[in-house]
Every structure is written in C-alpha cells, then in structure tokens.
Chains A and B, each alone.
With several copies, the nearest count.
Chain A
Amino acid sequence: MNVIHLIMTAVMVTLFASTAHASGTPEVDSGTTAWMLTSTALVLLMIPGLAMFYGGLVRTKNVLGTMMHSFSAMAIIGVIWTICGYSMAFGDTIGGVVGWDADKVLLSGIDQTIMEGGIPEYVFAMFQGKFAIITPAIIAGAFAERVKFRGYCVFIALWSLIVYNPLAHIVWGGGFLTGDAIDFAGGTVIHVSAGVAGLVAALYLGARRGYPRVAMHPNSLVMTMIGAGLLWVGWFGFNAGSSVESGLKTGQALAMTQIAAAAGALAWICIEGVLHKKATSLGLVSGILAGLVAITPAAGDVLPVGAISLGILGSLFSYAAITIKNRFGYDDTLDVFGIHGVAGIVGAIVLTFFLRDEPTGGLVQQLVHQVSGVGVAIAASAIGTLLLVWLVDKTVGFKLDERRELAGLDHSLHGEHGYGMLNPN
C-alpha cells in the first residue's frame, strides 16, 4: 500500500499545493467553489431584481417604500443570519425543529471549514443567507403600500427567527422532514411559506384604502420588466446553486430553470391572448415568475418535459388564482400568494409525476411526502405569521394610518420622492 500512499500524497501535493490543510479534511474544489461564489452573487442580484419588480408595480408615491422592503431585508436579515440565523437553520438539531451550534453563532467556528463538496463553509452560509433574505422580501409584496417601516423591520426580523430558520432546519438542516420531501431549491421553504405568510398578513391587515374602488396603476412596468429579467438571471444561482456542486446536477437544474421560465412566460401570454386578445408585459413577466417558482422545488429532479409542464401549470394555476382573488376581493397587493404560494404548491406536488428516477417509496408514497412537506410549510408559516403580525400590530404598530397611507410611503415614512425628475426643480 506504499505505492498508493505515495500516489495519494503526490496527488495532494500537485493539486492542492496552495492550500495549507492536512489531507484529512475535504479539500477545496476550486470549480465548485467558483460556481457557489457565483451563485451567491446571482441570488444577491435577485434582491435588487425583486425591488424593481415590486417597486414598478406600486403607485408612484410608494415606489421607494416598496423598494426599501427588499433592501432593508438585505440589511436586517443579513446581520441576523450572521449572528444566529445560520446556527438556527444548520446547527445540530434540537428535537428536529430548530438547530443550534455555538460554533456557528457569529459564524465563529467555520472560518477555516471546508465542506464535503469542497467549498468553504462560509460560501455555503452566505448562499443560504441569501435565501433567508429573499423570503421576507417576497412576503412584503402582499402588504405593499400600507405598512409602517418600523413595523415591517420588526416583523421580518421576528419572522426570520421564528418561521424561516426553523423551517429551513426542518426541511434542509437536519430537521424532521430532511430527506423525505423533495424540495430542491426551496419551493416550500421559500415560496410556499412566503406566499402563505403574505396571504395571512394581507388578510389580517386588511386592504389598502380605496381598494378596489380606486384604480391603482403601476408606476413603471418598464422597471418591473427589468426586475423580472434580473430575477430570471438570479434564479440560475438560486436553483443551480442549490446543487452545491458544479456538475451534472447543476447543469440539470440550470436547464430546467431556463425551460420552465420560458414555458411559464409563453403559457401566460397565450392565456391572455386567448382570453383578452392582448398579451401584456405584466402577464409575460408574471408567467416568468410563475414558471420559475413552480420549477424551484423540482429543478434537479425532473426532465425537460417536466420543466415545460411545470412552467405551464405554474402559470395556469397562478392565473386562475389571481382571477379568483379578484372575486374574493382581499388585497394581496402584488399577488404574493397568487404567484409564489400557488405556483410553489403546484410545483412541489406535481413534480412527483415528472421525476427523473422513480422515487424509492413509489409515487404515492412520494406524493404523501410532498403534500406533507407543503402542509408543514403552510401550517408553520400561517401560524407563525398570524402570531407575529398580531404581535407587531399590537406593539410597534404595523398598519399605516390613513393620512400617511394616502400621502404615500415615500413621503410620509422616508421623507423622499422616488422620481425627482417629475418635479420641475
């Protein structure tokens, strides 16, 4: 075995001369690390993307306030995640419900850690941190144009601690669902939970003043479209990065993401074309989103036919959900539930029928897993959100008073105007 040993050493020396580690721990794979670094940057790009997507859809007087919801999530959750979020989501499990690991608090013990796949744990922690950031930012769309900034900040901080971190732990971090339900890149943890949270919060807080009597026009569909473009790009990091490698699975995830987004977009403009004889730009970008959301839980595990189908079904169900919402008349400002919730649920459940490999327990068994995964996300998110919205509303206050809501968030909460150019100054 001397020869083998020599060989191994030679390989190590040749390959990893630059890294200082002993050969016992996993070595850095520069390629995988490169892709995970890139993915982290791409998912970060989704935050300005979301800010633009949402920001363009509200009324002119609320554009900055709405963008602030996304940006402040970067600030607040960015810090919380560092302090304890990562530890709660990916620390040693406490009863399968939440994690904790003194070493991961303030990321203090992972400074030199290389993970199994060959990437520094910091990169994984930051990649996951972006998911923690984007989830509350998505929720914000449901109660856009009518909440206090202070209340929002407190809400997302608590929501992250009480809903997101445990949920991420349960599904990904070693909690009681880890490994059963297929949720490749966060269909349930992120989109279903955000969609449901949005719905609950929108119902609790009530509609915007004037809704639906007063027409509320998007201030810039142009910006919304660009935002959707950035979201699509960023989603490559979101889904393909969730493979935590740079190989076949990554390629599969990227391809399915691309295909489902295109199919979703195409489906939506076809629906509109048939029903209204007009394809709208908002429809096209909504279709992109629905397709992307629907493929998220499935990206690594279905074939192109599945991706096309999920994209189409995502758009179909989201379109239907929004139509129905208009009947119910509750005010989910930017259709967070209609798109993220519905397409997320559709994706998480329907993926069962398009899996590349027959699931080990059989289709029915898997379906049960999927449904229960979705169920847990819905339940956790609904209960947690309700509690928190109530709590925030009763303490710092959540819903804006009428005067400031009518005056607009930008002016009354932030003392600014989004488009100074409109003002002949």
Chain B
Amino acid sequence: MKLITAIIRPEKLDEVRQALINAEITRITVTRCAGRGQAEHVDIYRGLEVAPALAPKIRLDIACNDDFKQITVDAILGAARSEDGEIGDGKIFVTHLEECIRIRTGEEGGSAI
C-alpha cells in the first residue's frame, strides 16, 4: 500500500477532488497548510535576504493499494496543474504504507483502504 501526499493550490481543491472521484478514489484526508516551493521571491531588502512568505496550500493524503497509485497520481497531476504549469502548482510525495486499519471494523490491510 502507498500513502500519497499531495500539496496543491487551495483553489484547485474542488477540481482535484472531482478528478479523483471520477477515477473512483473517494477516500481522502485534506489539511490546510502553507508552503514555499521554488523560492522565486527571495527579496533583497536593503541588503537583507527576506524569508519569503508562506503561501496557503492544501495537503491531500490518500492511502491506496499499489495498483491504484498511478491512477491517483495521474488524476491529481491532471487536475492540479494550472493552465500552463506555473510555479506553486505543488508536489506529490509517495511513501510506503505498512499497515492500514479501519477503525469501524478493525479490518486490516488492502481491504481496509
């Protein structure tokens, strides 16, 4: 199983969720966060390097079985990119998920995703 974590633009949330639903991925956890990627805005202010401000972002966490990984990533990639791919569009991180347990039933593993 994989844990897919995507950092996207807040304004893309609706589109990405729709794309995921279309790909039959409905289970998702969403967190408000803030971030800075390519540090395009390291301003110089009177000789001082300004820590660039953090921009609001949205973090998606999706646990999925291995075969769904690519589908999920593709759905996100398709929907989260801004018109011509601008800086700030975000990242997708994939980590290995060792266990997954459904609290309601106690089920474990792939079926609990």
Contacts and interface: CB of A to CB of B under 8 A. Distances in A.
Interface of A: 61, 210, 212-215, 217, 329, 403, 406-408, 411, 417, 422-425
B57 to A, nearest CB: 9
Given A213-B51, A408-B11, A425-B13, 15 more contacts: A210-B14, A213-B45, A213-B50, A214-B50, A215-B52, A217-B53, A403-B83, A406-B12, A406-B14, A411-B11, A422-B32, A423-B56, A424-B13, A424-B30, A424-B54
Q: Which 4 A-B pairs have the closest CB atoms?
A: A215-B53, A407-B11, A424-B32, A213-B48
13 contacts: A61-B10, A212-B48, A213-B45, A213-B49, A214-B18, A215-B53, A215-B54, A217-B53, A406-B12, A406-B15, A407-B9, A424-B13, A424-B58
A368 B45 CA distance: 41
A422 B14 contact: no
Contacts of A406: 11-12, 14-15
A408 B13 CA distance: 12
Contacts of A403: 83
Contacts of A408: 10-11
A411 B55 CA distance: 11
Contacts of A329: 46
B65 to A, nearest CB: 25
Interface of B (DSSP majority class): mixed
Contacts, number: 52
Nearest to A329: B46
B19 to A, nearest CB: 13
B11 A425 contact: no
Nearest to A411: B11
Nearest to A210: B14
A424 B50 CA distance: 17
Contacts of A212: 45-46, 48, 50
Interface of B: 9-15, 18, 30-34, 45-46, 48-54, 56, 58, 83
Contacts of B56: 417, 422-423
A412 B6 CA distance: 23
A215 B50 contact: yes
B45 A425 contact: no
B90 to A, nearest CB: 14
A273 to B, nearest CB: 23
A405 to B, nearest CB: 9
Contact of B51 (A215, A423, A424): A215
Contacts of A214: 14, 18, 50-51
A424 B8 CA distance: 12
A61 B31 CA distance: 15
A216 B20 CA distance: 19
Nearest to A424: B32
Nearest to A326: B45
A215 B46 CA distance: 15
B14 A423 contact: no
A329 B14 CA distance: 20
